[in-house]
Chain A
Amino acid sequence: MSRLPPFERFLEENRTTVFRYLTAAVGPIDADDVFQETFLAALRAYPRCNEAARLDRWILRIASRKAIDHHRGAGRRPIPVAAPPERPTEVDPAADGFGPALVAVRDLPARQRDAVAYRHILGFSVADAASLMGCSEEAVRASAYQGLRRLKQQELKERAIWTND
């Protein structure tokens, strides 16, 4: 069994990937908070971690669980009725380094969200995504496909709304 590296190095080596994943999974605004929860959970469990050889996978699984917790929590929070609908054209996400469809990924069902994030945002192989999600490669392909299709529909719908304005 390989030895655990100092947590500092583990944080430094994985922070960017985890942040990219969370930016997609919970959105750019909440990514930082869920990042804190993710690495705090990792710090707590670190001495007992027996996946020293694949810490990159270990932390992404924790991040995925924290993203799910975040969405559950958000579901319980009262939705401010008077809040104006989010206008994707008000800020240009592309100017901020984010693709325009990115913010919609967080609203996908959890499996589709992870499949799209691992395959199309982090660029992992189907095999790696399957191992992370604990499912078959077929299931990854299907979830990613459904996720992308839903994003596409969402995008068309939004475009229709804005052209009606």
Chain B
Amino acid sequence: MDERLRISTQEAERRSRQAAERFRAAAPDTGLVDVAVGTMGSPVGELLVAVTPRGLAAIAFEGDDRDRVLDRLARGLSPRVLMAARATDDVRRELDEYFRGARRRFDLRLDRRLMSPFAKDVLGATARVPFGRLATYGEIAGRIGRPKAARAVGAALGANPIPIVVPCHRVIGAGGNLTGYGGGLPRKELLLRLEGSLPAA
């Protein structure tokens, strides 16, 4: 009898994948998805973008373990995290424009809940460094009234949950060296070349 009740694992896998895709596509319209996640290709590798009803909450680079990124979103925002790309369309469009050279500043609402109060100050000052310009860690520290906190500023920038859009890549060492980047120095270099802040390779 059991063979006559069989559902092939392969068939169930295939059909359930389609059903899950249908679910992901429709779920955002219910207003029940607290964190919608989408992926996109870019010159700095695949990006994972996370959007909440308040705005853009996170961007992660390829190479970050996707499970860990989703865990961080679930812990810091809400467990209702879903790969629902359509809900991230606005963000992906602006990023595409930026990488094409057709956009110099982002018009996106940000959800800053993944930032500590200190990081909010640091990243707020960083967000005001315009396209094509650079600032040093010390200058950012000075602008938030903590002139001696350059190292802490560096740490907050390294943990920036919304890189690229909050342009921590524009903050460099006092001697002009790039120093460090959460996504790795090659990405920082590429972003700065794209913005004309470093000579093209």
Interface of A toward B, CB cutoff 8 Å: 3-9, 11-12, 15-16, 18-20, 23-24, 31-32, 35-36, 39-40, 43-44, 46-47, 94, 96-102, 105, 116, 120-121, 148, 151-152, 155
Contacts and interface: CB of A to CB of B under 8 A. Distances in A.
Interface of B: 1-13, 15-20, 22-24, 26-27, 30, 32-33, 35, 37, 67, 70-71, 73-75, 78-83
A4 B81 CA distance: 11
Nearest to A16: B16
A101 B74 contact: no
B75 to A, nearest CB: 7
Contact of A7 (B17, B30, B82): B82
A98 B6 contact: yes
Contact of B7 (A32, A99, A151): A99
A36 B6 CA distance: 23
Contacts of B6: 94, 97-99, 102
B48 to A, nearest CB: 11
7 contacts: A6-B74, A35-B19, A36-B19, A47-B78, A47-B80, A98-B11, A151-B1
Contacts of A98: 6-8, 11
B4 A100 contact: yes
B130 to A, nearest CB: 35
Contacts of B16: 15-16, 18-20, 35
